[in-house]
Every structure is written in C-alpha cells, then in structure tokens.
Chain A
C-alpha cells in the first residue's frame, strides 16, 4: 500500500502534536501540581458540615451542598492557608467552582470528592454552584474569605 507523501507528513505531524500535548500535560501536572479532584470511598464523617483547623495555616473544610446552599457558607482563613475541601451533597447533584483557583468539583449524593487549595492572596473567593440543581440554583453560592477585612 503506497501512502501519498502529503498524507504521510500529516500523520507524522499529527502524532507529534498529540505527543507534545501529552508531554505538556504531564509536565504541567508535575511542575504546577495541578490535578483532578481526588476520589475517596464514601464515609459518613464528611456529611456533617465542619471547618477543622489543623494548624495556623492548614484547614479541613467538610462542605455539604444542598438545595440551595453550601454549608459552611462563609469560610474564613488567613493568607497562605492550605485548605482541604471534602465535598458531598445532601440531595441532588451540585457543582463547586472556585474559578479564581481552578477548583472544580461535582457534589454527588452518596460520595465524597476532595481537593486541596492554597490561598496565597487576600480576598473574597466565590464558590459558585455550577450544576443545575432545581429552581433555586442561581442563588447557590458560598465564599472563602482570606484575611478580608481580617480573619475571624
């Protein structure tokens, strides 16, 4: 089978481009520590909303989404904190998006999602529910308040 020389070139270019994508993806994953949420087996412990302070800059937040709020709704942490978010839903599927931090998780009944975020800069970070969850969906928002105006 003879392959047209242009087609051959295109195939080589295609494979190199895809190779480049895979390389950049792995490179970024290591260099910037970006990763997808971590999946944990279901555990009832995480279904009670809670903020645990482990030490001055390490926090655990058990975030529980429900129609149409996140609990806890306001999370105060100091600048430089590393926060582990554990997420679940009390009812339908909800979303959990901190756009400024590229945090993106789904809250699903009967399961636990987890991610870690470092808040280096002071400010108010919106947590937006970005999955349709019924008539009050557009009102479902929480906030992370990082030293602003001052940490409580």
Chain B
C-alpha cells in the first residue's frame, strides 16, 4: 500500500532513533559482563560509571526501544489493515512527547544525576527531570491508542460481521494493557516521586511506590512481548511458507493476556515486606493463568511451522524442522523469529521457575534473573523488534538490505551468544552471584577480602556470551544504517506479510468484542490489588526522605546541619 511522506517520516524516526541509541545500550551490556568477570576492578570506564551505564542499558533497551517500536509497529499495522493512515497531528504529538521524554531522561542519566536504574526505586533520588522524562515517554505512547480506537470503531461500523484482523486486535489489546498499567506508574511518578524529589513533600512510602511500580512492571513485560506475539501469529507462518494453524487460538490467547497481565505484579515482590504470604500466593496462582495463553501460543506456532515444513515436502515426525527457510536472505525475518522463539523456550521455563512462590527464594535478584529475562526481552522481543524494524524500513523506503548475507546470520550469532551468556548468568545466580552489582571491585577482585573464586567460571562464561552478542548487535547497527544510506531501487510501500489461517473459524462474537473482557480484567485487578494495597497501607511504618546515591545521610538532614 502507498503511504504519505509524513507517515513514512514519522515511522522512520520512530524506528531509527532507538536503533541509534542501541549503540550506547549494547555497549553497556558488553561492559557489564566485562566488569562482572573481574576484568576491570574500577568504578567507571571512559568516564561512565557502572551503575550509570546499567541505568542507560535498562532504560534504552527495555523502555525506549520497546516503546518506540510498539508505537511505530502499531501505526504500521493499523494503516496497513485499515488501508487508512492514522491522524498525522496526533502521530507527531505522540512522537514529540516521547522524544522529549527520552532526551530529558538521557540528559540526566549522562550527567550522572539519575543513576537509579530503570526501576527507579525510592528513596534513592533521581533528578526530577528523569522522572518527568519517563512520564512524557509514557504519556506520548498513550496518544495513538485513542486515535486507533477511533479508526477501529469507524471500521467496525462498516463491517459489523467481519472478524477484526488478528494483528489489529493484538495491537489494541496491547495498548489497552499498557494504558491501564501505566496509570499506576504515572501516579507513582507524578504524585509520589516528582513532588518528593523536588522537596515539596518530605517523605515517600517506599512499599507503596514499589507496589505501584510492579502493578506496571509485569504488564510492561507483556507490552514488550505482544508485538512479538503479533508477528509470530500473523507474519511468521507466511514467511515460513505456511498458514497460521488456528486464528481463534490467537484471539483466545490475546484476550487471556488482557485479563491476566496486570493482576500478577506481586510475583516481583515475593521477597518484599508488608505484603502477606496469602496475597503473594494468589498472585502466583494468577501467574500460572498467564501460562495458559503462552502454552496455546507455543502449540499454535509450532503447528503452523510444521504445516509449512510439510507443505515444502517434509516427511516423518520431525522432518519439517529441516525444511524451513533458516538462512534465506530474502526471508531474513524467519531467522530473526525462529532464533527468538528458540530462546523463548528457555525464557519461558526459567520464568515459570521464578513465579513459583517459594522457589523464588533461590533466585530472586541473583544473576539468574538477567539470565532469564535476556532470553525473553533480549530474545524474541529484541530480535522481533530489530528484524521487523529493518524489514519495515527497507520496504517502505524501497531500498535493498545492506550486506544481506551478514544480515541473515546476525540472529543466529545473537542466539548463540545469548545461550552462552544466559547459561553463565543462570549458573552464577544459582551460586549466589547478585545482579545489579559491579562485581569487579569486590567479589571478583582477588585483592579484596570479599573475593569469591567460585564465581570466576560463571562470570567468564557470561563474558564470552556478552562479546558474541555485542558483535551481533553492532553488525545489526551496521546493516540497518548501511541500508538507510543506500539508494532507493524501487517504489517504496508499506508492506506487511499476512498469514492466512489453516483453521479460519467463523466469527465468535465473544472473541471479537472488548467490553466483557475489559470488565473481567477490571474485576480481577481489583481482586488482586485491593488486598495488596490494604496490606501495604496497614504494615508500612514511616515514609522515607530522599537519598543521593553517594551519601548515607538523607538530603533533608544535610540542609538542617548547615543551618545552626
């Protein structure tokens, strides 16, 4: 489909800015493995501190890249399926809000005024502009939802009896989840943290802030994942040369995500005080609820790939696995998707371990955790995002991919690096290596009394994986910008592969409307979160003043001692 210049320009910016920022993000990923393996015994390298780098790494990779892409991919999906472009003014508004937010946050992080990591737990205080930046990024990403809902309603009026295209349904569900969950973090930031960081309010209830953050935090991971799910359901089967096994399965999975994504957040707080075991157990059970749509997806995708393999003439039980277009340069998306899915098998299994109530004691906040979530967010999510960004850009601009053979092997290189990295991290975590820690100074420093020789092998394995991932990541940046600098060879257009369904079930009204599901979602959220908030309120003592990262005395006290 032909699209306007403005539409293209906005999408290009929303795809290319995060890829450029990835250079900083991935550089710090590599550096973390270097420090952690005890290669460096210092607090900073090239003027960038470990924790400053870790904040940049988390914010850029997990918040900026994912949010920009979700918005750009959402615009592309809506325009492509409805054959109509979203409102340009709102597209620009959303873009500028998000960009301003990112610039504010980036400035405070680079100045070292916001080394509080991407979870920004109080009472560590960041610069108020860091919080404001985060809020603007979020608010900017809300804007498109309202326009897309308008487009959807208009379309629905004309096609009351047609199934909503699966990709559209997924995009709307994803942004509804996002809108609901970010309300909590917007409250945390705007009402609790900004006034407190400015010194207008004296203290903040840390447990309340953490609980609000994780109301948002688990749904955040589904906001990362759902664009990848949409690609796996609606694009992958086509690229593989087959069909989507069942269209209805996709709809059911998506609606289950809608109701289960938010009311599980306390599984990130299993080790926290003030929330009772009963509430934690309930959130744990609901987390198993999210496993259902995940299993449905695993089956449906595997069945779709099997169908594709058999259509290409595969025989026997597993023959289809050999018949897929793994290294086909023209179908490079397949490589990005399949590597992501392979990593996701491990990501899913480790995730079930994390959510399993007292098993969480074994691994909470150890290196196991980054080992786990790099196989989700830096696995299917990251590979889906970068692969699709390149695809969308190349098709819309009418350019050929730069170094297509290199491009075809990048996902495999990334996957191999990741498997090594995550193996090292997970094993290290089981041996007690903490996450979010500059191990090189103490635990991995033979000169230190804290030296732990038993962590040398595991951190070294993680370093090896990190180097390979870094290489793959940089090769991607070269391919992406190399493509941008190429000359146009054909008329560009917005083009997304569309998979037909093998079982194309009749429209089931229940799975084609939002109201009942939204009602269920709200009820479950209330059931899960009212008790949690009552707990926090009842069991919390005094609120906390502000602390800088380098001083055990709170900020208020300092000014008090200056005045006699």
Contacts and interface: CB of A to CB of B under 8 A. Distances in A.
Contacts of A37: 271, 273
A11 B300 CA distance: 11
Given A92-B547, A97-B366, A138-B443, A36 B434 contact: no
A38 interface: yes
Nearest to B510: A1
Interface residues of B, number: 75
Nearest to B449: A141
Contact of A135 (B299, B503, B505, B550): B550
B543 to A, nearest CB: 6
B552 A91 contact: yes
A34 B123 contact: no
A109 to B, nearest CB: 4
Interface string A75-114: 0000000000001101111010101101111101111110
A54 interface: no
Contact of A22 (B285, B437, B505, B540): B285
A148 interface: no
Interface in B277-322: 277, 280, 284-285, 288, 291-292, 295-296, 299, 303
Nearest to A24: B356
B201 interface: no
Contact of B543 (A22, A41, A97, A110): A110
A139 interface: yes
Interface string A11-43: 101110110011001001100001111111111
A74 to B, nearest CB: 13
A91 B273 contact: no
A39 B273 contact: yes
B124 interface: yes
Contacts of B539: 39-42, 111
Given A10-B299, A106-B271, A106-B273, A18 B288 contact: yes
Contacts of B552: 66-68, 90-91
A99 B508 contact: no
A112 B541 CA distance: 9
A104 B547 contact: no
B153 interface: no
Interface string B2-45: 00000000000000000000000000000000000000000100
B117 interface: yes
Interface in B501-550: 503, 505, 508, 535, 538-544, 547-550
B362 interface: yes
Contacts of B508: 1
Given A22-B285, A36-B270, A92-B547, A130 B361 contact: no
B205 interface: yes
B522 to A, nearest CB: 24
B541 A111 contact: yes
A137 interface: yes
Interface string A38-69: 11111110000000000000000000001110
Contact of A6 (B303, B352, B362, B365): B303
A132 B437 contact: yes
B292 A110 contact: no
Leading 7 A-B pairs by shortest Cβ distance: A99-B432, A42-B541, A130-B434, A113-B273, A67-B552, A109-B544, A110-B541
